[in-house]
Amino acid sequence: MTRIRPVVLVRRIALTALVAWLIALARIDPFTLLNTAASAGIGAYLIDRRPRNPIGLLLLAISVLGLGTTGRPDHDVAALASGTASWNDFLWLWFGAWAGSMGFVCYAALAFVFPTGVLSKGRWGTVGRIALALAAALAFVPAIAPAIELAVSEEVGTIWVPNVLSPLGADASFRPPPIGVVFVTLIPISAMALGAADLLRRYRRGPLIERLQIRWLLASIAALVLAILFGLAVFVSAGPGSSWGWLPALLAGPTLAPAIGIAVLRYRLYEIDRIISRTLSWAIVTSVLVAVFAGLVVGLQAALAGITQGQTLAVAASTLVAFALFQPVRRRVQRAVDHRFDRARYDRERTAAAFADRLRTEVDLEAVAGDLTRSVDGALRPRSLVLWLKDGAE
């Protein structure tokens, strides 16, 4: 039985307590809860397993900063405006004033150092250091401003709360210059854009393992972007009451932290192509069958309106047609998607099928051995290959 060092044990207990505390604070809405639990949990695990890699700390910081951007409905607005609010209310407001911008800085740092935990060498490393330092400095400016902006409601608008922690003095009449607001907002976002550009550059030029690690992160980001676009499309087409359209975004958001954990720990990196192909295949098949089912229901109801008064026959016929189309559509879509996104598996299966066809008609043992060696080498690309044949005399 492996003994755990006291330092490691204390660190794990502290990380577990911190994650539990953050999850308890995140019980505001399901989106905040899931994202905080994923980021904090994966971040704490990476800190324990890869203590020298700062990505775990960045994920933990992102979860904390994300909580700071959530408003509290129980603020005592009058006490905050007069400067007599409790320290609990004021600190939450003060933290939220700069948490959003600092969150962009953490995402930018994550992009610059992912997955190795260190900045790139050369020009991009210098760009990353300058961008992160400038963005962090500007993101913290609202924390030392004389006043903090608080959005109350649509009717009231916003009010300005005196910042008792400002070294410049608390002054509720202070208003930041517009150019300052632009810099504080755009510089952290620009740093994140530069980090994304560096990430894509390393994805194109990096070694195979690093490209696979970055592919996990890019796949999660792509899923989140598509889910958000789907939610916006449903919102525009069906109206504000269609909250179900944001369900994919609710499920896709927490996948970012697990994808980062898998990439950093290098756990099942080569499964990403299969996951992408299967996800796309099932999404396309589901969309096609739903469209066919809905079209048939509407069409058959219109066609059978003079024969039957109900819609039972139309629904039953549409269900049977969708069920009959499932396997043919799935096979065709899976083959097309594998050909594009899971090419390695597609090539392996095609090589194995071709070898099996040749094996049925080949009778020369040496030719079979040579064909087997070439097929295995083409499908798996091993560093070395040895073929053992059983002696026929035995």
Look up residue 38 and give its two tokens.
């994923």
Q: Do residues 377 and 348 touch, judged by C-beta distance below 8 A? A: no
Report residue 306: phi and psi, to 5°.
-80, -10
Q: Which residues are CB-contacts of 168 (< 8 A; sequence separation ≥ 6)? A: 144, 145, 146
Give, as one character, the DSSP assignment of residue 342.
Answer: -
Rounded to whole angstroms, how far apart are CA atoms 33 and 24? Answer: 8
Q: What angle do CA 45, 49, 55 make, to 5 degrees?
A: 70
Look up residue 296 and give its two tokens.
């048939």
Under the banding of pLDDT at 50, 70 and 90, the label for residue 394 is very low
Amino acid identity of residue 281, one-letter, is S
Q: What percent of the chain has pLDDT over 90?
A: 21
Rounded to whole angstroms, how far apart are CA atoms 235 and 243? Answer: 8
Is 108's pLDDT higher than 90? Answer: yes
Q: Which residues are CB-contacts of 270 (< 8 A; sequence separation ≥ 6)? A: 212
**pLDDT for the residue numbered 393:** 46
Out of 108-112, 308-312, 321-325, 370-374, least confident range: 308-312
Rounded to whole angstroms, how far apart are CA atoms 101 and 186? Answer: 9
Q: What is the domain partition of the chain in residue ranges?
A: 1-70, 73-97+113-189, 206-267, 281-339, 346-380
Is 250's pLDDT higher than 80? Answer: yes
- If we measure between CA atoms, which residue out of 56, 63, 57 comes closest to residue 24? 63
Read off the pLDDT of residues 123-167 as tens digits, 9 standing for 90 and up.
999 999 999 999 999 999 989 999 888 877 666 678 888 888 888
Read off the pLDDT of residues 22-71 as tens digits, 9 standing for 90 and up.
998 888 888 888 899 999 999 999 999 888 899 999 999 999 998 888 76
**pLDDT for the residue numbered 88:** 82
Rounded to whole angstroms, how far apart are CA atoms 209 and 214? Answer: 9
Place of tokens 């755990």: 4
Read off the pLDDT of residues 334-390 as tens digits, 9 standing for 90 and up.
777 766 655 555 566 666 677 677 767 766 666 777 767 776 666 656 666 777 766
